[in-house]
Amino acid sequence: MPLKGNINHSIVFWCFNAAGGHWSIEKTCEVAKQLGVTSIELSDPDTWPTIKKHGLTSAIAMNGMPGAPFMKGFNNLRYHDEVIAATTKTIDACAEAGIPAVIAFTGYKWRDAEDPSSGTISAEEGADNCVRGLTQIAAHAEKRQVTICLEHLNTRDDTHPMKGHPGYQGDDVDAVAAIVRRVGSDRVKMLFDLYHVQVMNGDLIRRLEQYKDLIGHVHTAGNPGRGELDEHQEINFQACMKKLVELGYRGYVGHEFIPTRDPFAGLEQAVSVCDV
């Protein structure tokens, strides 16, 4: 469908492959072209040739960490070598494939990310470790011209493993922004997920303004429940998109909701609502 061109839409693959719809990468590419969407993101590298074959791009890649990639992050020195190596490898792959960004995470606050009884990393220590790790890898990102986007995630919703992440240390968007500012690299930004920010902090439009220079990528999903961008949720996505346009944001907006009904209809609605 014809779009206005002010918002660069992207489909987050896992939502329509694993969470709902069970679309193949071929099917997702076909849907993207039908809707006028130019990007399919957070898909495995083995899907990138198919995306390119369809004349599409991928706005952002996962960081290459195995399992739940948001658990072991830059906040924990125990995982620095592993996270930096995986992110470096992904940065190189993105540079070769023409993918502009890679996602990054603070990680869970426990000293053993999988064991809450292992003790807790303080917020101050976690932030310092994130700055240390991101600063270490920033020079490589700058050289390869790939942007690292540190994501804020909510810890309030414990009803589903992908609706909320209890234990995640980067659950305050202001604290995540402060980490990015401390790193001070044009290639280290924040991933502003409207759903997660609404759950934890709210005040979305004012925060978009406040952090306009730090935002490297944007995600959508309805709240509560991380469902469709419809009349059953509380976020005014049109107002948020209009603010992004006003701020001159030219990055991508990735639709990352978990379908509760026909996935094509939900995605078509999300693109329509956000196409301001």
pLDDT of residue 1: 64
> In this structure, which amino acid lies at residue 229?
L
Domain boundaries, the chain: 8-274
216: its two tokens = 């490297």
Of 3.20.20.150, 3.40.630.30, 3.30.70.920, 3.30.230.70, the CATH number of 8-274 is: 3.20.20.150
Smallest CA-to-CA distance from 40 within 258, 255, 260, 257 is with 255
> In this structure, which amino acid lies at residue 58?
S
Longest dimension (CA), the chain: 53
> In this structure, which amino acid lies at residue 178?
A
Smallest CA-to-CA distance from 87 within 124, 122, 139 is with 139
How far is C-alpha 31 from the chain's CA centre? Answer: 21
Give 190-238 pLDDT, tens digit per residue. 999 999 999 999 999 999 999 999 999 999 999 999 999 999 999 999 9
Burial of 200 (0-12, 13-18, 19+ CB in 10 A): buried
- What whole-number distance in Å separates Cα of residue 78 and Cα of residue 24? 36
Helix (H) or strand (E) holding 110: strand 110-112
pTM over 0.85, yes/no: yes
In this structure, what is the dihedral angle of CA atoms 114, 187, 223, 110, given to the nearest 10 degrees?
20
pLDDT of residue 25: 97
- What whole-number distance in Å separates Cα of residue 266 and Cα of residue 229? 7
pLDDT of residue 202: 95
Cis peptide bond upstream of 224, omega within 30: yes
Query: What share of residues in the chain are helix, strand, coil (percent, to 5)?
Result: 45, 20, 40
Residues of the chain predicted below pLDDT 70: 1
- What whole-number distance in Å separates Cα of residue 78 and Cα of residue 140? 21
What are the φ/ψ torsions at residue 254 (nearest 5 degrees)?
-95, 125
Provide the angle, in degrees to the nearest 10, between the axes of the packed helices 80-97 and 123-144.
30
